[in-house]
């Protein structure tokens, strides 16, 4: 089985494979129309649109340079197929920014870097930490991404001496952030769905997205809706026994009535049956009043999820039973209710207030 790094570089310059175990394939030719139906520098959609192409047919050859030029509000970056390596940051003043994968297939447009929490800082003052490991950090409100892959290809096997193995593909903090048809690839802490401050309740929406990893690979304190998404848990060669990890680790603020909502989605696995837990609560030292919240409804949970004990506890004193975890009308072997006390279920009336509209309030993302 190829490593994530080999999979991502397979189509370097012309796209990338979907996931860790993606089969080998022939490199695709450089497209004649790198921006597809989205115009070009000579046929620009509007004055706010910039074009990125690694072969020099756009305004820029890398995403970082395009971001630096995309000042103001409401800019769009149309990104041609390619593998773009390097850390990126979308600061708060880039309100309304859109990243658009030009081909419509997220496997073709990949933004990737390879830092971990334990990676030394360049100035020698310590290590990067979890947030510092992120390949992409988004602080701007009203951020949208379509058909883009965000990845972190740092591997434990390459760095056995590291204790800080968190490696974030993207950290999203802005309010009203939306992702459509995007892929998020990593191992530990792949997607950090978070907020700008302890007092902020950022809202995020993910639709038709693919996320993969092993330990807490969807985590943070945002109010986030995952609609028709696919979560994939990975095999680990460094562990001989279960559990390999957890899909979700919400850290919802105690004052926030809405945490993570997963609906019409599925969880699959490359690992043996029952080697993964569905979730565990994260109560960080920065906010001991956090009251993590996760609702999984109308979704298919595959055999990789431990149906008997699907939840775990991260920190002593904050057991999962005291948190806001619930399920409703799920199917699949990982959703079987064998020990009712371990599978808190919503009633039909309770489920009526666990919808995207309830969680997102006056924001209605347009797919």
Q: What is the DSSP letter of 8?
A: H
**What is the Cα–Cα distance from 273 to 364, expressed in whole angstroms?**
38
Residue whose entry in the numeric block shows the structure tokens 């649109």: 49
Q: How buried is 320 (Cβ within 10 angstroms: 0-12 exposed, 13-18 middle, 19+ buried)?
A: buried
**What is the Cα–Cα distance from 131 to 174, expressed in whole angstroms?**
15
Strands 191-193, 109-113: pairing is unpaired
Task: Look at phi and psi of residue 99 and say left if phi exceeds 0, alpha if psi is from -120 to 50, else beta.
Answer: beta
**What is the Cα–Cα distance from 226 to 214, expressed in whole angstroms?**
18
Residue 322 annotated as catalytic: no
Which position among 59, 115, 175, 216 bears the catalytic label?
216
Residue 189 annotated as catalytic: yes
**What is the Cα–Cα distance from 194 to 201, expressed in whole angstroms?**
9
8 Å CB contact between 57 and 34: yes
Which position among 189, 194, 227, 306 bears the catalytic label?
189
8 Å CB contact between 228 and 262: no
**Which residues are tagged catalytic?**
189, 216
């Amino acid at each position: 089985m190829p490593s994530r790094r080999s999979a991502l570089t397979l189509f370097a310059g012309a796209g990338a494979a979907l996931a860790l175990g993606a089969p080998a394939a022939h490199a695709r030719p450089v497209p004649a129309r790198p921006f597809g139906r989205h115009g070009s520098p000579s046929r620009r959609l509007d004055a706010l649109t910039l074009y990125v192409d690694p072969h020099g047919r756009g305004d820029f050859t890398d995403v970082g340079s395009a971001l630096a030029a995309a000042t103001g509000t409401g800019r769009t970056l149309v990104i041609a197929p390619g593998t773009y390596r390097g850390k990126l940051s979308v600061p708060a003043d880039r309100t309304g920014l859109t990243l658009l994968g030009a081909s419509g297939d997220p496997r073709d447009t990949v933004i990737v870097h390879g830092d971990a929490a334990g990676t030394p800082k360049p100035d020698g003052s310590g290590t990067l930490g979890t947030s510092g490991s992120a390949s992409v950090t988004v602080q701007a409100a009203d951020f949208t991404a379509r058909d883009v892959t965000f990845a972190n290809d740092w591997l434990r096997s390459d760095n056995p001496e590291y204790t800080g193995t968190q490696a974030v593909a993207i950290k999203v903090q802005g309010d009203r952030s939306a992702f459509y048809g995007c892929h998020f690839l990593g191992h530990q802490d792949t997607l950090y769905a978070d907020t700008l401050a302890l007092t902020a309740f950022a809202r995020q929406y993910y639709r038709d997205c693919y996320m993969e990893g092993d330990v807490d690979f969807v985590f943070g304190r945002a109010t986030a809706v995952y609609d028709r998404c696919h979560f994939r848990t990975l095999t680990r060669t460094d562990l001989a026994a279960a559990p390999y990890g957890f899909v979700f680790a919400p850290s919802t603020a105690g004052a926030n009535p809405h945490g993570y909502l997963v609906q019409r989605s599925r969880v699959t696995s490359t690992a043996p049956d029952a080697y993964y837990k569905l979730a565990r609560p994260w109560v960080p030292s920065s906010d001991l009043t956090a009251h993590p919240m996760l609702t999984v409804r109308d979704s298919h949970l595959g055999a990789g999820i431990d149906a008997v004990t699907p939840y775990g506890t991260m920190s002593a004193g904050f057991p999962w039973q005291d948190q806001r975890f619930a399920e409703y009308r799920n199917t699949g072997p990982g959703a079987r209710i064998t020990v009712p006390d371990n599978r808190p279920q919503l009633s039909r009336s309770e489920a009526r207030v666990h919808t995207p509209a309830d969680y997102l309030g006056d924001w209605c993302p347009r797919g």
